[in-house]
């Protein structure tokens, strides 16, 4: 699945498998903020995501969800 395939209301939960730090990201804001192409896939993103907490690279697990707060 590519980032361009997501709808505006969808959000990605990126969890670091090392330290369990989780962030919610909108697919389109990833492209703007990190200058990633919209053709990037979720699998690519898992490999390239750097955890802001422990700084490990490629240790992310990505889940696709409805909207922030949807996992309560
Ligand atoms: Zn981490």
pLDDT value at residue 70:
58
- Model pTM above 0.85: no
Distance 15 CA to ligand 1 centre (A): 8
CA–CA dist 51, 16 (Å, integer): 6
* 3 secondary structure, DSSP code: G
Express each pLDDT in 14-44 by its tens digit: 999 999 999 998 888 888 888 888 899 999 9
Q: Tell me the mean pLDDT in the region 53-58.
A: 96
Angle at 47 between CA 7 and CA 45, to 5 degrees: 15
Distance 24 CA to ligand 1 centre (A): 14
Residues lining ligand 1 (ion), CB within 5 A?
16, 18-19, 21, 51, 53-54
With a CB cutoff of 8 Å and minimum separation 6, the contacts of 57 are 48, 49, 50, 51
Distance 30 CA to ligand 1 centre (A): 18
- Mean pLDDT across the chain: 88
């Amino acid at each position: 699945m590519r980032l361009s395939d997501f709808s505006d209301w969808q959000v990605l939960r990126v969890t670091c498998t090392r330290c369990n730090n989780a962030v919610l990201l909108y697919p389109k804001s990833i492209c703007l903020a990190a200058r990633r192409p919209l053709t990037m896939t979720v699998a690519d993103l898992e490999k390239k995501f750097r955890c802001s907490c422990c700084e490990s690279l490629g240790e992310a697990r990505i889940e696709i969800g409805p909207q922030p707060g949807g996992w309560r």
